[in-house]
Amino acid sequence: SYCMCGTSSRQYALHGHRANCARLFSALRERIRAGGLPKLPVPPLQQTLNMYLKCTSHLITEEQLKKTKAIVEKFGAPGGMGEFLQKKLLERSEHTANWVYDYWLEDMYLSNRLALPVNSSPVMVFPKQNFRSQSDTLRFAAHLISGVLEYKSLIDGRALPVDYARGQLAGTPLCMDQYNKVFTSYRLPGPKTDTLVAQKSTVMPEPEHIIVACKNQFFVLDVVINFRRLNEKDLYTQLERIRKMSDIEEERLPPIGLLTSDDRTQWAEARSMLIKDSTNRDSIDMIERCLCLVCLDEPSGTELTDTNRALLMLHGGGTDKNGGNRWYDKPMQFVIGADGSCGVVCEHSPFEGIVLVQCTEYLLRYMRGSPSKLVRAASMSELPAPRQLHWKCSADIQTFLTSSADKLQRLVKNLDMNVSKFTGYGKEFIKKQKMSPDAYVQVALQFTFYRCHGCLVPTYESASIRRFQEGRVDNIRSSTPEALAFVKAMDVEKMELLWTAIKAQTNYTILAITGMAIDNHLLGLREIAKELKLEKPELFSDTTYATSIHFILSTSQVPTTEEMFCCYGPVVPNGYGACYNPQTDHIIFCVSSFCDSAETSSDLFVKTLEGCLKEMQDLCTKCNTEAKPADSTKRKDGTTKVMKNGSKS
């Protein structure tokens, strides 16, 4: 294993390293204060190759492991391909703010051809609202838009407080670049690769506007008129007008938003056809340049359980509900259902989940702490009417719409979701065991998968690397050999092995957040070889590599301080998406899978997970009860020996 600075465990054990490392990070913080964040480091090649073998050896057959070891040894040999590519990566690092950012963005998002809903776009589900009338719904929408404009003004004025790392290595300032893309970017579909378009600020910016989706129609709501921002009363008036305009049957146009729910290549083709007409081109331009979407949804007609509200946010309920009342290419779509089902749909390529959390928590606090100003505010005497966007649909576009609608319906029927609140205990109990709540839950997820399927599989857990310039995420590979040893162990050995698994998870987390994990590094080596037009190294055509990036278990911790939760779909057809939100006395789990996979079941996974969490609690409680003062002893050097239950004398 390695220290946070990349030092091996053997060197780490040497006297004085801990102090030296602390001084290194102290100097790093001073450098941040003096001249900005450091660049993302390029990990040592041999460190990554050794870790790659450790992360995959217990997930493949002995025969495959033998073959992979030979391939890795050849790749990492002195003077070999690995050293050459490592040198090129180091050169790239010298000349770019972040050597992996462009590679990562294309690989993770832009080259992915799957449809955005469920497969890529996470959602945040708000507490259920109790709207008694249409006026209540529009008041809520006006209040929320007012909060959005306040938040945007903080971003524009660079007045947002700097984020600092929490959890492992807490206190380090984080890169704030992602916030600048929340209301100014757009994912443009392409035939092979999408483009993340960021609007450039100008000396005289155009009037800002929001797009309101209502009954599958799109309306332009100007929020700045004659250089003055609309107050909440004016926003309410305009929303009321939009609602009335959407009721006019004769003005009802086809649900063009459905096209954005299709796979990216299909949508790119349909968009190219759409913009041949100037009316369509102008309408798309207005949507692409808007701050965000506000989707006023019709009642869904379903019981609004946590699971059903999550499903409605993820795909709108399909074409017969609100599936066409979306435009998935925009980063922020605020959904306000007449039945009280509300939340946010996020296009993920411009920013990470924590940015979504910070924005939505600000809005919920704003709405709770800032009373509605509908009565007191002075309104504009004459407001220009909102404009409905128009479309001209050829027979070809109608064909695309039919195809998109059919695929969305299949996606809706295929998604198997279970949102569960585990109330046995929360992060407070875990912290009392002197364990990291995140590491504990990750080990519980491995335990659960093993119980359900009898093996472990490559697992993805996102780890923020915002400590570095333009940092996004790397992967914590949670299916460690130590986790496998724990889940296979008999009761008598379990506590010690649980501690070992927690420690391994925590150590890998530290590697990841300090830029020393393997996934981004391997991606960089693969992509720079492609960039240099070299033959693909055997390391990346090996079956083990393909297996290692097929993430059957895709996980993410998204903690919130407000009453809401995040969820998303699986990233592979036979996989699970598992998002969790640890609170003081409970943990919210959002588990997703696909119905057409015979290998998965979200309900079974959640039921098994609850049992595993209970077993882990019983194990901790039992060991704490049996622990005696004599269990801890002093070594000759005066340090305390930690016993199996983690207690110290």
**Per-residue pLDDT, 226:** 85
Q: What would the pLDDT profile of 365-420 be if each residue is shown by its tens digit?
A: 999 987 666 544 445 558 999 999 999 999 999 999 999 999 999 999 999 999 99
In three-state secondary structure terms, 217 is strand
**Per-residue pLDDT, 250:** 82
H helices within 456-583, ranges in order?
A: 481-488, 491-513, 519-531, 538-541, 543-548
The chain-wide mean pLDDT, for the chain, equals 90
User: Would the pLDDT of 34 be above 60?
Assistant: no
Instruction: Count CB atoms within 10 A of the CB of residue 31.
Output: 12
Q: Which residue's structure tokens are 């009721």?
A: 247
Which pTM does this prediction carry? 0.90
Pair type for strands 576-582 and 553-557? parallel
| Distances in whole angstroms, Cα of residue 275 to Cα of each of 192, 194, 392, 545, 591 | 19, 17, 10, 41, 39
**Per-residue pLDDT, 222:** 97
Q: What mean pLDDT do residues 230-256 have? A: 94
Record the tokens describing residue 371, joined without a space.
């009373």
Residue 457 contacts residue 421 (beta carbons within 8 Å): no
d(CA 539, CA 535): 11
Q: For the chain, give me the number of helices (H) and strands (E)?
A: 21, 18
Query: Which one from 15, 58, 95, 348 is the annotated catalytic residue?
Result: 348
**Per-residue pLDDT, 463:** 97
DSSP lists the bridge partners of residue 590 as: 419, 579
Instruction: Count CB atoms within 10 A of the CB of residue 564.
Output: 20
Pair type for strands 415-422 and 587-594? antiparallel
Active site (annotated) includes residue 348: yes
H helices within 253-352, ranges in order?
A: 264-274, 278-288, 306-315
**Per-residue pLDDT, 252:** 87
Q: What mean pLDDT do residues 469-484 have? A: 98
Q: What would the pLDDT profile of 174-190 be if each residue is shown by its tens digit?
A: 999 999 999 999 999 99
> What is the number of alpha carbons within 13 Å of residue 588 lying toward its C-beta?
20
Residue 580 contacts residue 587 (beta carbons within 8 Å): yes
In which residue ranges of the chain is CATH 3.30.559.70 found? Answer: 133-371+387-416
Confidence band of 3 (pLDDT split at 50, 70, 90): very low
**Per-residue pLDDT, 9:** 43
High-pLDDT (> 90) share of the chain, % = 84
Cα R_g (the chain), whole angstroms? 26
Q: Which residue's structure tokens are 């379990």?
A: 494
**Per-residue pLDDT, 492:** 58
Q: What would the pLDDT profile of 494-524 be if each residue is shown by its tens digit?
A: 899 999 999 999 999 999 999 999 999 999 9
**Per-residue pLDDT, 632:** 44
Right CATH number for 133-371+387-416 from 3.30.559.70, 3.40.50.300, 3.40.50.970, 3.40.50.620?
Answer: 3.30.559.70
Record the tokens describing residue 591, joined without a space.
């588990």
Pair type for strands 342-346 and 123-125? antiparallel
d(CA 469, CA 482): 33
Window from 248-257, 414-423, 473-482 with minimum mean pLDDT: 248-257
Q: What would the pLDDT profile of 133-146 be if each residue is shown by its tens digit?
A: 999 999 999 999 99
Residue 501 contacts residue 507 (beta carbons within 8 Å): no
d(CA 436, CA 427): 9
Q: What mean pLDDT do residues 437-463 have? A: 97
**Per-residue pLDDT, 373:** 63
Report residue 27: phi and psi, to 5°: -65, -35
In which residue ranges of the chain is CATH 3.30.559.10 found? Answer: 31-96+423-557+601-626
Confidence band of 4 (pLDDT split at 50, 70, 90): very low
DSSP states of 333-396 as a string?
EEEEETTS-EEEEE--TT--HHHHHHHHHHHHHHHHHS---TTTSPPPS-PPPPEE------HH
High-pLDDT (> 70) share of the chain, % = 88
User: Would the pLDDT of 648 be above 70?
Assistant: no
**Per-residue pLDDT, 239:** 98
With helix as H, strand as E and coil as C, how does 449-480 read? HHHHHCCCCCEEEEEECCCCCCCCEEEECCCC
User: Would the pLDDT of 158 be above 60?
Assistant: yes
Q: What would the pLDDT profile of 581-627 be if each residue is shown by its tens digit?
A: 999 999 999 999 999 999 999 999 999 999 999 999 999 999 888 76
Report the phi/psi class of residue 400: left, alpha or beta, with left for phi > 0 and alpha for psi in -120 to 50.
Answer: alpha
Record the tokens describing residue 83, joined without a space.
């050293």
Q: What mean pLDDT do residues 203-224 have? A: 88
Q: What mean pLDDT do residues 161-186 have? A: 93
Does domain 31-96+423-557+601-626 fall under CATH 3.30.559.10? My reply is yes
Window from 155-159, 242-246, 447-451, 628-632 with minimum mean pLDDT: 628-632
